[in-house]
């Protein structure tokens, strides 16, 4: 058993025992399952945030594409003018190309860092909001715990659950109510 799975199981055990006192054999325990990604994609505020993030990334990508095109054109002008330029002019153009290439690499790295930071901030903010909505649903509907399913891309946390345990639609409604 991996340490991540062990940590999830310990967390679920703690959640089950927290605030409910000791559970005794025969007592029914309601545990819900949620798909946080679906909540993000299907809520009004989540859709807007994802569109904003997409627009932010696309703006950066357009700048990078423009810089890349400029570099290609400069490189082609160097290749075309092979015999037409003096050594000094050729050396100056090559230095200009190297400078622009370095600036391009720096800008690309900076934009990637900015986009990753903004994505992490978005995920953290919406994870908190989703947790608040899930807690409200749990309290209203009598769930002892609501566990995130995880995702196929990262790590599937809940390997199996009965469809009736999925509270994602209820959390979506609550999220939209809390975040108009």
Please give the share of the chain, as a percent, with pLDDT higher than 90: 60
Q: What is the pLDDT of residues 125-167, one digit of tens each?
A: 999 999 999 999 999 999 999 999 887 776 777 878 888 899 9
Q: What is the CATH number of the domain that holds 98?
A: 3.30.910.20
Per-residue buried b or exposed e for 42-80, using 16+ beta carbons within 10 Å of the residue's own CB? bbebbeebeeebeebbeebeeeeeebeeeeeeeeeeeee
- The H-assigned helical ranges of the chain are 3-17, 36-42, 44-80, 87-141, 168-178
Give the three-state DSSP class for 163.
helix
Q: What is the pLDDT of residues 82-137, one digit of tens each?
A: 667 777 888 888 899 999 999 999 999 999 999 999 999 999 999 999 999 999 99
Q: In total, how many domains does the chain have?
A: 1
pTM: 0.71
Average pLDDT over residues 33-54: 94
Q: What are phi and psi of 166, to 5 degrees?
A: -75, 115
Q: Domain range spanning residue 41?
A: 3-178
> CA of 118: how far to CAs of 1, 53, 54, 124, in Å?
33, 8, 11, 10
Please give the share of the chain, as a percent, with pLDDT higher than 70: 81
């Amino acid at each position: 058993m991996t340490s991540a799975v062990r940590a999830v199981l310990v967390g679920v055990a703690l959640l089950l025992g927290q605030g409910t006192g000791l559970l005794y054999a025969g007592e029914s325990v309601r545990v819900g399952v949620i798909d946080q990604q679906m909540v993000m994609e299907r809520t009004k505020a989540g859709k807007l945030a994802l569109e904003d993030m997409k627009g932010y990334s696309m703006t950066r990508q357009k700048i990078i594409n423009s810089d890349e095109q400029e570099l290609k054109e400069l490189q082609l002008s160097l290749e075309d003018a092979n015999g037409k330029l003096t050594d000094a002019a050729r050396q100056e153009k090559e230095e200009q190309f190297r400078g622009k290439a370095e600036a391009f690499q720096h800008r690309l790295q900076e934009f990637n860092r900015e986009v990753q930071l903004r994505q992490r901030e978005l995920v953290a903010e919406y994870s908190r909001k989703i947790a608040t909505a899930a807690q409200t649903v749990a309290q209203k509907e009598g769930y002892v715990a609501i566990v995130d399913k995880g995702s196929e891309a990262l790590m599937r946390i809940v390997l199996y659950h009965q469809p009736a345990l999925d509270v994602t639609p209820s959390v979506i409604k609550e999220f939209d109510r809390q975040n108009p």
